[in-house]
Structure 1
Amino acid sequence: MVPELTVTDFARSLDFYQRILGFHLRVRREDPDFAYLCLGEAQLMLEAYHPQGWNVAALAPPLGRGINLQIEVDSLTPLLDSLAANQIGLYRKVKESRYLIGETEACQREFLVQDPDGYLLRFSEFIGEEPAG
């Protein structure tokens, strides 16, 4: 699944995802502005808001209410350093979470941050697995 996010300021969003979060550009189109981005195995698309877009209702900030996008990364540290250097606050601070998978617990560190339009991004770093108990 590759989510496509409608954004209100394409240049600002593209800068946020590329420069601050480290996504790489895979495809770029104009009229309307569009980008297909990758970070490791994670992929997402950005499209500038335009009247002919797939807009089911009026857009009101924060965009993406009711959804968060989990993006798995090898390490949270570079992201946290870049966000701090760019004075971007976290929506939720780093915490360790455990998820039961059968008879095993998967452990990960995660934090949440909002992009310029308010889309909620949850970055997670896998720590390991251990028997549930």
Structure 2
Amino acid sequence: MATDNGQPPRGGFAGLVPELLVVDIEASLRFWIDGLGFTIAYQRTESKFAYLERPEGAQIMLCQRWGKWETGPMEMPFGRGAMFQIHVEATEPVQKALEALGIPLHEGPREVWRQWGDREGGNREIFVLDPNGYLIMMTEELGERPLSPKDEV
């Protein structure tokens, strides 16, 4: 039996870690590692499974489809109705890595300011589809600011 390589994520296991079923684990690993900047915390190559993490703490699991855990028909694009938001230090290096791989953005970059309470927070966002059709939003925080008087209700 092959052994696992790697170790648990550096910051411990996150409270919620999605596991994405993929068609080709190698193609997905290239996208998530070379394009989005994740690293392998550990993997089980015999199971075609990898547990990935980013330095900021985002974690995701990838597993090549083999029938188990499929609760209904799997049709491309996968992930319809779901979007995965990943906070990163900066979106520009991710965008450049995707461009170098020839992977187009689905949308962005864009700057968005959203209100919560008496403040608003800003994000720079880029959107991309992974090789299986999962929608990924990479977001960089731009800070917070008080609402301007015209924004207050």
Shorter-normalised TM range = over 0.9
Find the aligned partners of 1:108 and 1:98 in 2 and give their Cα distance.
6
Aligned residues: 132
Identity of counterpart residues, as a percentage? 37
TM-score in terms of structure 1 length? 0.95
Matches within 5 A, 1:1-133: 1-39=16-54, 40-51=56-67, 53-133=68-148
**Aligned-pair CA distance for 1:31:** 3.6
| Structure 2 unaligned regions, length at least 5 | 1-15, 149-153
**Aligned-pair CA distance for 1:32:** 2.3
Letter in 1 for 2:146: P
TM-score in terms of structure 2 length? 0.83
Find the aligned partners of 1:43 and 1:93 in 2 and give their Cα distance.
23
Find the aligned partners of 1:55 and 1:32 in 2 and give their Cα distance.
16
Q: C-alpha offsets along residues 13-55 of structure 1, whole Å, 9 cap, x if unaligned? A: 011111222101011013421100001210000001002x200
Task: Classify the secondary structure of the residue corresponding to 1:50.
Answer: coil
1:95–1:110: 8 Å Cα contact kept in structure 2? yes
Q: RMSD in angstroms over aligned alpha carbons?
A: 0.9
Structure whose CA Rg is larger: 2
4+ residue runs over 3 A deviation: none
Letter in 1 for 2:65: Y
| Structure 1 unaligned regions, length at least 5 | none
